[in-house]
Copies of this chain bind each other. A is one copy, B any other.
Amino acid sequence: MSLVVMKFGGSSVADAEKIKRVAGRVIDKKKAGNNVVVVVSAPGDMTDDLITLAEGVTDAPDEREMDMLLATGEQVSIALLCMAIKHKGEDAVSLTGPQAGIHADTTHTRARITKIIPTKVHDGIDKGRIVIVAGFQGINPNEDITTLGRGGSDLTAVALAAALKADTCEIYTDVEGVYTTDPRVVKKARKIERISYDEMLEMAGSGAQVMQARSIEVAKKYGVDIHVRSTFTKNSGTLITGEEKLRRREMEDVVVSAVTFDRKQAKLSIVDVADRPGIAARVFGALAKGGVNVDMIIQSAARDRSNDISFTISRGDVKKALALLEKVKHDLHANDIISDDKVAKVSIVGVGMRSHPGVAAKMFETLSKNGINIEMISTSEIIISCAIRESEVDKAVTVLHKAFGLNKR
């Protein structure tokens, strides 16, 4: 018998009607002859509501207690979903993260899963029950409740699928799957049938919102097939799997799989830096220590023994980055630090690029033909990214999507 892990996000269990619909969906899967393990997030806005409660009590909530508080959200979901399933006559049992044997490290509010000992999950399956597990939470070596941070419920589902050697991990969401680009920007965006872990990782890293990179990494490591699909329709969605299972697609000559973008970038430029060894190390070392992730970097040609260094970061990190740089400014002998927060990034992703030269050239040409200025470039084996003006994102995405043959036929 197949074992399927089904994961439903908060919007899928936001109220009684939605919970009942999910219950029906889960029962259908079970009745089709599968063993079923369900992972759920907290209902709708409950996590935000709990955070508001905490903020009413203190402006700096203790992190252990924050986990104690937030973990109640998923516990509410699993209990309600389990009741709904039993009400429809199917046997089921709910388990908190700790009960399901999700072990995590001692970092509160963003713990990493260390191991899974799913004894009670197996027990439930062996008794023919649908097993419902609280996402986003685990138990740490002190036997405290921890939470797994952003994308935590997806991670629970994928890691549990790996531990249980499930046949597939279905991630239910409010879209039909992974798209060639954001359909709100390009109406002709198409649903992708199959995509590799590596492409999905690059997509997540370059602005696509479907899944967090950490879950994809675990899926890749353990070879878990992820099926991203809609809570509201029965259509098949997008299969995220290993490249070896995707060979056939490459033969069909798909070079670029998707166009992604991130509107919320910022560019920092350090002007007239002394041209000495170790300067870049100092700049980026300081930023890394302060927890600021740097994306693209340009160092301009030296003139009169001084350089400009420019780089992009998330717009939310600008204030922090400027404060960190202010501290090292004197050591750099830099004239000025300039920030520009109207920068965005557009990227093309595809494993097909490897065997097709000229993809980068085509991207640059497409943008330039359409009057879009490229301010920075970064490339890797399966992704090419360009920093452009924020105001030109929609145009850039639209022309690239068309140029690489991704428009709906």
The chain A residues found within 8 Å of chain B, CB to CB, are 15-16, 19-20, 50, 53-54, 56-62, 64-66, 68-69, 71-72, 75-76, 78-80, 82-84, 86-87, 93-94, 96, 99, 120, 143, 145
A76-B53 contact, Cβ under 8 Å, with A65-B86, A68-B82: yes
Interface residues of chain A: helix, strand, loop or mixed (majority): helix
Q: Across the interface, which residues of B come within 8 angstroms of A78, CB to CB?
A: 68
Name the residue in A57, A62, A69, A93 with the highest tally of chain B Cβ atoms < 10 Å from its Cβ.
Answer: A57
Q: Are B75 and A61 in contact (CB under 8 A)?
A: no
Distance A80 CA – B56 CA, assembled complex (angstroms)? 9
By a CB distance below 8 angstroms, the chain B residues around A66 are 79, 83
How near does chain B come to A356, taking the closest CB pair, in angstroms?
53
Task: Give the number of copies in the complex.
Answer: 2
- The answer to whether A87 and B68 have CB atoms under 8 Å apart is no
**Is B143 touching A99 in the complex (CB atoms < 8 A)?**
yes
Pair B72/A75 contact, Cβ less than 8 Å: yes
Closest to A123 in B: B142
A82: chain B residues within 8 A (beta carbon): 62, 65, 68
Q: How far is the CB of A75 from chain B (nearest CB, A)?
A: 5
> Of B16, B20, B53, B96, which contacts A53 at CB under 8 A?
B16
Which residues does chain B contribute within 8 Å of A61, judged by CB atoms?
Answer: 83
Q: Once bound together, how far apart are the Cα atoms of A15 and B138, in whole Å?
A: 28
- Nearest residue in B to A53 (C-beta to C-beta)? B80
Distance (whole angstroms) from the CB of A26 to the closest CB of chain B:
13
Give Cα distance in the complex from A145 to B68, angstroms.
15
Contact of A69 among B56, B64, B76, B93 (CB under 8 A): B76
Q: Is the CB of A83 within 8 A of B99?
A: no
Contact A71 B75 (CB under 8 A): yes
A82 to B143, CA, bound (A): 17
Q: Which residue of B lies closest to A55 (CB)?
A: B16
Judge whether A80 and B94 touch: CB under 8 Å: no
Contact call A84/B58, Cβ cutoff below 8 A: yes
Residues in B neighbouring A94, C-beta threshold 8 A: 64-65, 68
Our pick among B57, B75, B76 for the contact of A84 (Cβ within 8 Å) is B57
A72 touches which of B62, B65, B76 (Cβ 8 Å): B76
Are B72 and A87 in contact, with the CB atoms below 8 A? no
Query: Which of A56, A59, A68 is packed against the most chain B CB atoms within 10 Å?
Result: A68
Bound Cα distance from A72 to B79, whole angstroms: 10
Closest 3 CB pairs of A and B: A16-B56, A69-B79, A58-B87
Q: Which residues of the other chain, B, contact A19 by a CB distance below 8 angstroms? A: 57
For A50, the chain B residues whose CB sits under 8 A away are 76
Let me know if A83 and B54 touch, CB within 8 A: yes
- Residue contacts A-B, CB under 8 angstroms, 5 given: A16-B53, A65-B80, A66-B83, A68-B94, A69-B83
